[in-house]
C-alpha cells in the first residue's frame, strides 16, 4: 500500500510516498481503508525532530494522526464496528500512520463517522475537536454561563473550541487576525477581537477561562483578567506552563495544560454534535497523498483556517 514516510528529521522534502506492507488488524483493532487524513502541527513538530524521545528515534516514520475511512476487516476479539462501516478516529500512539491507504486502528480510538459529513470533513474532526472538548470540559471544568476567551480561534483547534464552548453554555470572546474575524463570528463568537489591534488581555473583560490555543500567552500575563476561580489552559507544553501548573496546584486560579486523549466515547459525542449541526468542520485546503510535502508546508505556515486535509484515493 502507499504511505507517507520519512527516513530522517528535516524540512518537508524529507517526506516521501512509498509502498509499504499493508497493516494487519491485531487484537482489538480493525483494518480501515483510509479515505482522508487531517494534518496537525504535531506532524510538523515530530518531522522537525522536536520530540525525539517521544516518537521513538527509529526510522522510517509515518505521518498523520487523524483519519476517516471504511472498515475492511476485524481483528481478533472485535465484533463491532461491522465491515463496511464508515468510521473516524485519532491515533494516540506517537507512531502515526493516518496518511496511508490502510490503517490498523484501535477500536478504543474510533467511532462511527457522522452520517452527514464527507470523509474529508470527518477526518477534520478528531485531534482538534477532542483537544477543544477536553480542554474546556475536563481541564477547565467550564461551568455553563462562563466567559471564555479563545486565543488563536481560527485554526484547527480554535474553530471547534468556539462551537464547543457555545454548546457548553459559555459567552465566547475570540482572538484572530483581522481576516478571520468574520469566520469566528460565523462559528458563534459573541465578541471577535483582532489580536493585532485589540487587547488580548484586558482586565476590564470578564474571563473565567482563557484558552490559549496558539500558545504565546502565559498564566502570568493573563492572571490580571482571570476571575477569582478562573483557569488558564494552554495547548503548548512550555516550561512556564509546567512551573505555573505546579505552583497553582492548590490555588483557586489555575494554570493547566491540555493533553489530548483519543477516546471512543468523546468521538461519538463529537459525531453526534456534528450530525446535529453544532460542530461544523472548517477545511482550509485539500491535498492528495502525493502532495504530502505541500500539505505539511501549509500547516507549517501557522495560517491555516481550520484543517488541512489529505485525500487518499
Distance in Å, CB of 11 to ligand NAP, minimum: 17
The region of 139-147, 238-246, 262-270, 300-308 touching ligand NAP under the rule CB under 6 A is 300-308
Q: Which residue number places its CB atom closest to ligand NAP?
A: 155
Q: Of these, 5, 15, 38, 40, which contacts ligand NAP (CB under 6 A)?
A: 40
Q: Of these, 29, 106, 121, 154, which contacts ligand NAP (CB under 6 A)?
A: 154
Q: Is 131 in the site for ligand NAP (CB under 6 A)?
A: yes
Three-state secondary structure of the chain: CEEEEECCCCCHHHCEEEECCCCCCCCCEEEEEEEEEEECHHHHHHHCCCCHHHHCCCCCEECCCEEEEEEEEECCCCCCCCCCCEEEEECCCCCCCCCECEEEEEHHHEEECCCCCCHHHHHCCHHHHHHHHHHHHHHCCCCCCCEEEEECCCCHHHHHHHHHHHHCCCEEEEEECHHHHHHHHHCCCCEEEECCCCCCCCCCCCEEEEEECCCCCCHHHHHHHEEEEEEEEECCCCHHHHHHHHHCCCCCCEEEECCCCCCHHHHHHHHHHHHCCCCCCCEEEEEEHHHHHHHHHHHHCCCCCCEEEEECC
Q: Of these, 29, 174, 180, 231, which contacts ligand NAP (CB under 6 A)?
A: 180
Strands 86-90 and 66-74: antiparallel
Query: What residues between 226 and 285 interact with ligand NAP by CB under 6 A?
Result: 235-236, 258-260
Q: Is 303 in the site for ligand NAP (CB under 6 A)?
A: yes
Taking Cα atoms as reference points, which of 132, 81, 69 lies closest to residue 264? 81
Interface pattern 79-118 for ligand NAP (x via CB under 6 A): ----------------------------------------
Among residues 3 and 192, whose Cβ is nearest to ligand NAP? 192
Distance in Å, CB of 100 to ligand NAP, minimum: 21
Q: Please give the grid coordinates belonging to residue 143.
A: 461551568
Among residues 180 and 296, whose Cβ is nearest to ligand NAP? 180
Among residues 157 and 292, whose Cβ is nearest to ligand NAP? 157
Q: Is 174 in the site for ligand NAP (CB under 6 A)?
A: no
Q: Is 75 in the site for ligand NAP (CB under 6 A)?
A: no
Q: Is 195 in the site for ligand NAP (CB under 6 A)?
A: yes
Among residues 103 and 304, whose Cβ is nearest to ligand NAP? 304
The region of 51-59, 79-87, 97-105, 210-218 touching ligand NAP under the rule CB under 6 A is 210-218
Among residues 23 and 176, whose Cβ is nearest to ligand NAP? 176
Give the separation between CA 133 and CA 123, rounded to whole angstroms.
16
Q: Are 264 and 108 in contact (CB under 8 A)?
A: yes
Among residues 259 and 290, whose Cβ is nearest to ligand NAP? 259
Residues that bind ligand NAP (CB under 6 A): 40-42, 127-128, 131, 151-152, 154-158, 176-177, 180, 195, 213-216, 235-236, 258-260, 299, 302-305
Amino acid at each position: 500500500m502507499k504511505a507517507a514516510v520519512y527516513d530522517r528529521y528535516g524540512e518537508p522534502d524529507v517526506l516521501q510516498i512509498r509502498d509499504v506492507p499493508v497493516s494487519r488488524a491485531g487484537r482489538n483493532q480493525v483494518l480501515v481503508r483510509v479515505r482522508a487524513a487531517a494534518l496537525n502541527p504535531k506532524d510538523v513538530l515530530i518531522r522537525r525532530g522536536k520530540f525525539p524521545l517521544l516518537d521513538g528515534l527509529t526510522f522510517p516514520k509515518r505521518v498523520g494522526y487523524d483519519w476517516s475511512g471504511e472498515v475492511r476487516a476485524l481483528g481478533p476479539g472485535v465484533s463491532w464496528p461491522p465491515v463496511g462501516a464508515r468510521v473516524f478516529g485519532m491515533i494516540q500512539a506517537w507512531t502515526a500512520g493516518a496518511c496511508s491507504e490502510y490503517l490498523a486502528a484501535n477500536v478504543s480510538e474510533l467511532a462511527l463517522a457522522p452520517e452527514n459529513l464527507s470523509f474529508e470533513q470527518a477526518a477534520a474532526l478528531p485531534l482538534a475537536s477532542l483537544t477543544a472538548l477536553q480542554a474546556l470540559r475536563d481541564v477547565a471544568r467550564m461551568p455553563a454561563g462562563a466567559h471564555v476567551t479563545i486565543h488563536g480561534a481560527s485554526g484547527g483547534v480554535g474553530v471547534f473550541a468556539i462551537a464547543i464552548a457555545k454548546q457548553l453554555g459559555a459567552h465566547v470572546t475570540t482572538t484572530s487576525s483581522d481576516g478571520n474575524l468574520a469566520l469566528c463570528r460565523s462559528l458563534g463568537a459573541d465578541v471577535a477581537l483582532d489580536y493585532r489591534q485589540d487587547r488580548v488581555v484586558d482586565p476590564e473583560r470578564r474571563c473565567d477561562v482563557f484558552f490559549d490555543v496558539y500558545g504565546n500567552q502565559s498564566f502570568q500575563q493573563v492572571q490580571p483578567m482571570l476571575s477569582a476561580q478562573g483557569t488558564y489552559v494552554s495547548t503548548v507544553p512550555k516550561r512556564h506552563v509546567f512551573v505555573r501548573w505546579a505552583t497553582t496546584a492548590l490555588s483557586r486560579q489555575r494554570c493547566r495544560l491540555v493533553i489530548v486523549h483519543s477516546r471512543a466515547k468523546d468521538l461519538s459525542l463529537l459525531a453526534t454534535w456534528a450530525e446535529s449541526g453544532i460542530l461544523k468542520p472548517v477545511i482550509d485546503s485539500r491535498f492528495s497523498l502525493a502532495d504530502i510535502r505541500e500539505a505539511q508546508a501549509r500547516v507549517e505556515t501557522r495560517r491555516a483556517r481550520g484543517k488541512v486535509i489529505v485525500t487518499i484515493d
